[in-house]
Chain A
Amino acid sequence: MTTTLDAAIAKPRKQFGETFLGRLWTGLTRSSAGFAGTLLVLAIVLFSFVGPLLVDQDNPTDTTQIWTEPSAEHWLGTQYEGKDTFTILVNSGAQPIWVGTLAALMAVFIAVALGSIAGYFRGRVDAVLLQLTDVTVTIPQFLLMLAVVAFFEDIPPWGISIVVGSTMWAFLFRSIRAQVMSLKEREFVEAARLQNLGPARIVFREILPNMAGFIFVNFVISVNQAIYAIVGLYVLGLMPSGTPNWGLMIHQSWGQNFYLNPIALPFVVAPLIMIVLFTIGLVTMGRGLDQALNPRLRER
């Protein structure tokens, strides 16, 4: 997704409407679509993190109850071992979401750190970092991840976050760098420089807070991209299958041909719907925020 280079640039320290949280709130509520997306994301996060505390976690294998139809007792019926599908679904969201979020946090952190260094200091460091990004962008990420997972079979989920995060940052780096370069020329940064405040303070107190909205939008987009990779690895069945999650449900549906069987539909369709809703939520939330925080885009 494209985000125009000039993000929200407000004069620092103003009333609530002008602070980052204020603008975030405006951004999330301004467009009805963006607001709906945010609600959708929140609903699924609540469903996946609070839901498991509310449902009965006792879900035994029951060979007399295989593939039963949805009923009052089993809202989505039962699966191939006679376990309750709804309980599995509730427990399945947490892992992809936290692994994706961690990966996105890491990508954004690296991109912001390297992007500010390159954009603020320019010169040799900048040239080297640009070269590094060019190389990282060209590496086919998913293949690299697959290779890591194929050779190291017992990789923990946070290990996947690290692999995903350390290849994904490069896509963000250029736009962050361009932002820093443009903000650096603004009067308030020049004023800070004239006061001899030092680069660390200027970057952290003057420049980065002014592009917080831009960074946040990119964080939302990155979560979506990380989910693509992580769920994909689970769909392939390459990850440890201990914790239930959406990708693993799809892997089971496909690996054992349940998807061709109409009786298994609730089990097959449920994770697909959850992923579609969550990713649509993230995208609409990101677009809504982008439009509100991004003055140049707002005019379009």
Chain B
Amino acid sequence: MSGQSTYTPGSGFARWFDERLPIMRLMHDSFVDFPNPRNLNYWWTFGGILSFLLVTQIITGIILAMHYTPHVDFAFGSVERIMRNVNYGWLIRYSHSVGASMFFLAVYIHMGRGLYYGSYKAPREILWILGVIIYLLMMATAFMGYVLPWGQMSFWGATVITNLFSAIPLIGTGVTEWLWGGFAIDNPTLNRFFSLHYLLPFMIVGVVILHIWALHVPGSNNPTGVSVKDKEDTLPFHPYYTVKDGFAVVVFMILFAYFIFFNPNILGDAVNYVPADPLSTPPHIVPEWYLLPFYAILRAIPDKLGGVVAMFGSIAVLAMLPWLDRSKVRSAVFRPIYKQFFWIFIIVFLILGYLGSQPPEGWYLLISRIATAWYFAHFFLILPLIGLLETPRPLPESITKSVLGSAAGGAPSGSAASPETKG
């Protein structure tokens, strides 16, 4: 998608076709001959893993929709029939439900890698914001998908989350009833959630294409954060990164398969095997694990509207990240202070996740308020301040030098102590 195309059609037909629809050229330039930094580590394979998971979720989802009935009287039973009667139905359904968890696990690692290596910084701001949009779409998709089995947690989770919108001043009630298609969660809600749950993944695919496009304009970041300077610094995507990503996908599949076959329900909530009952609320309503940190932020604020604003704000702040982090150096490898605060941030995020699963009272509430405050302080105070105060370690002169060391004839690394400028 950038630079000179190296595609040469292999046959007369391929040339004829290429003159009319250069899709093979596009594929070749994007996924075969695309120059990637030669020093990418395994944290960079999660893009490929996420692509695999997106395709898996769409295929299993389309199949489940062949057998599922989006009606309050039949939804729970139709899921049970999938589990019991449909050939391999249990396998497909568990793949889909475990797949959602795996998707979030992979996306958190992918985002964490971006945070650590500064992949959000210029010239990759749009790439990063598109990623935040994908993440938001994923959360909406996962939430609506969780409603479909019509268990107790489906019903009450939907009730709680849709009620968030009632916090909007003046029009809140109207918006909520518009979402429900009634005065409570009921059949119209289930129907529209099913429709949207089927639609949103295809919107994710669309934004993913933009995400890859935006990636291929500046090219991938890399563990040093130093920009690619010449052809020496790169390797063609195929075979080097196709085989590396492929290997990572297979290793990830082992974890995926473990959960599908040996612990398919542990990542979900047992209460969701009780059919939805609008007259009885389960004692602890908790979202799926991947939404817990944001749920903790929601509950940490003692005001309804304030909580909702904080929760959405905690995601919106990610989109502002490229302008909050003032440091010119991308990679945390060369940012000793940022590196420490990065890990503190990860721990705070995990603590928030744990607190999201606990009742909001006593110590839990106090700690969740401190953690919430830290979460926002990390972005609005700590990052801008580190950018001003930190002295980065010297950067390598180029990717090749960092890989091959001084043996390649490079100057000692100390001589390259200039912060990165736009590549």
Report whether chain A binds chain B: no
Report which A residues bind B (CB closer than 8 A). Answer: none
Report which B residues bind A (CB closer than 8 A). Answer: none
